[in-house]
Amino acid sequence: MIFAKQKELPNCPRKIIQFAVNDWLHSINCVKANSTKIQVEFAWVHPRIGAFKLNADCTCKPSSRAIGVRGVIRDSVGDWVGGFSVNLGTSQILEAELWGLFFGLQLAVAHGISNLVIEMDSALVVHLMKNPDTIGGHPLAGMLASCWDFMNLLRDCDLHHVYREWNCLADCLANGSYNLDLGVCWFDSVPLWAEAALVNDRIGVSRPCLVPVV
């Protein structure tokens, strides 16, 4: 069992259905809050000196419905600290995004990191993690609690939503995740197929992105 603590979830189908509907509505609102979009350029932003940054991402392969999660931690210079890629087989997107956060936090704790900035392109995960008092009875409450437990081990931890274009290096790790055996693969150094993305982020190469007009 991967979790150190076991969480008892209430057996309440009505609550589970209600949370599923709320999650779906929140996801729709995040995407469709404003249909007018403009193109802007985004580049990875270095964390402040002494801090580290975790970028985590999730992807789904339409042909097989296989889902992979991956993540990378870098220092203030942009150098690779550690990374991971996980083949989850088939899963729900929200659950997969939470696995990405979980493994990223686990990696940070293993490296003794105490000052961490987390960037994810899942607005729903960020919303759930920042509203712990609202998820009692949520079907993924156990995973959320495990992520909070890890975050509480860090002296300073900030979680932010970003667009996928800010997550380019984490996205590159997906190129190998589908070919892995089920489970997690840890990378102490940057894989060959992600080296170019690491360099591009370090020197501030930007990428175009369509964003809603506020």
Determine, yes or no, domain membership for 4.
no
- Domain of 41, CATH number, reads 3.30.420.10
Overall number of domains in the chain:
1
Is the pLDDT at 73 greater than 70, yes or no? yes
Name the residue among 162, 166, 175 with its Cα closest to residue 208: 166
Q: What is the pLDDT of residue 134?
A: 73
Is the pLDDT at 176 greater than 70, yes or no? no
What phi and psi, each to the nearest 5 degrees, are found at residue 183? 125, -170
Q: What is the pLDDT of residue 172?
A: 78
Residues β-bridged to residue 66: 61
Place 35 in a pLDDT band, splitting at 50, 70 and 90: low
Determine, yes or no, domain membership for 111.
yes
Determine, yes or no, domain membership for 15.
no
Predicted TM-score (pTM) of the model is: 0.80
Dihedral sign, Cα of residue 159, residue 47, residue 58, residue 111: negative
Name the residue among 103, 108, 99 with its Cα closest to residue 52: 108
Q: What mean pLDDT, rounded, does the chain reach? A: 81
What separation in angstroms does the CA of 46 have from each of 75, 152, 202? Answer: 8, 23, 8
What separation in angstroms does the CA of 40 have from each of 108, 169, 209? Answer: 31, 19, 5
Determine, yes or no, domain membership for 143.
yes
Domain that holds residue 42: 34-212
Range ranked top by mean pLDDT from 101-115, 134-148, 178-192:
101-115
Place 179 in a pLDDT band, splitting at 50, 70 and 90: low
In the predicted model, what is the mean pLDDT of residues 97-107? Answer: 95
Q: Using one digit for the tens of pLDDT, what is the confidence trace for 139-155?
A: 888 999 999 999 999 99
Determine, yes or no, domain membership for 2.
no
Determine, yes or no, domain membership for 14.
no
